[in-house]
A = this chain, B = another copy of it.
Amino acid sequence: MELEIKKDLTSNWFKMLQDSICQKISEIEKNKVEFKSTIWKRNHKKDEGGGEFKILENGKVFDKVGVNFSKVHGKFPKQFQKNILGAKKNPNFWASGISVVMHMKNPLIPAMHFNTRYICTTQNWFGGGIDVTPSKKDNNEKKEFHKILRNMCNRHNKNYYLKYKKWCDEYFYLPHRKETRGIGGIFFDYKKDNFEKDFKFIRDVGTTFENIFQKIIRKKIKNKWTRKDKEIQYIKRGRYVEFNLLYDRGTKFGLQTGGNVKGILMSLPPLAKWK
């Protein structure tokens, strides 16, 4: 398959998935709160693509949820080339992806994060993952969440789940706090074995995320929570901010390469506390 066709297939899928996820979120909000959409361009002087991020705030269910789509191309700044697979000698890249971060009003429902991307340098690969950050422990929820991910992974390759779960645990870790960001999930990068199989997996990760967030939210949407639960959530969100600003590679990379700041930082919670 030609590379241009792969780029079209993947970016169209990410765009479609953005619409589909936004629609499901709107349904959960009973269509009473609207997403605000921002369309941005990477470069105003020449065409280097851009994206659209959609943010819904102050809902009945979501405090803040961002659903970000981008499709960009250009040249990596020199100082980053060495860190990027396949870009050591050639700075040209193309990248498309979708990322979602959900900060929930009900503190008994975990924050949820999902991302998939397709990146082309002199090599072409997929990356992404799903992970969940509760502020209140719930072992059943954790088990159920990982079971869905394991089943999904097993549909594609019996080795994926353990490998990607481990990668997730290692990635979403705050060394200064000696704690994980949440209860893990899956995380993968540099996935470039076989485009058709990999893309099938990527689509499955997307639709599985749709199932997961609806399931988790519906299960607890009516559960009563206390002021104290909310305070614990605010502190947990402080940790979320610490992770994203101190360690997250995507955040750092985006900010250092002149990405859209509001789009990149949409992952930050609406309100966080430190004590």
The answer to the question of A221 belonging to the interface, with a C-beta cut-off of 8 Å to chain B, is: no
Which of the segments A43-51, A199-207, A238-246 contacts the partner chain? A238-246
Q: Scoring A residues 238 to 262 as 1 if CB is less than 8 Å from chain B, else 0, what string do you get?
A: 1001100110000010010000010
Distance A177 CA – B261 CA, assembled complex (angstroms): 7
Q: Which residues of chain B are near A177, meaning CB under 8 Å?
A: 261
A272 at interface, CB cutoff 8 A: yes
Copy total for this chain = 2
A249 to chain B, nearest CB (A): 13
Residues of B within 8 A of A274 (CB): 265, 268-270
Q: Mark A134-175, 1 if CB is under 8 A from B, else 0.
A: 000000000000000000000000000000000000000001
On chain A, the number of residues with a Cβ less than 8 Å from chain B's Cβ atoms is: 23
Given contacts A246-B246, A269-B274, A271-B271, 4 further A-B contacts (CB under 8 A): A177-B261, A241-B241, A242-B245, A270-B274
In the complex, A273 has a CB within 8 A of chain B: yes
Cβ B270 vs Cβ A271 within 8 A:
no
Interface string of A207-239 (1 = CB under 8 A from B): 000000000000000000000000000100010
A176 within 8 A of B: yes
Complex: A242 Cα to B241 Cα, angstroms: 9
Is A57 part of the binding interface, using a Cβ–Cβ cutoff of 8 Å?
Answer: yes
Expressed in whole angstroms, the Cα–Cα distance for A241 and B272 within the complex equals 10
| Cβ B57 vs Cβ A255 within 8 A | no
Find chain B residues with CB under 8 A from A242 CB.
245, 265
- From the candidates B234, B264, B270, B275, name the one contacting A57 in the complex (CB within 8 A): B275
Which residues 49-104 in A have Cβ within 8 Å of B in the complex? Answer: 57
Closest to A246 in B: B245
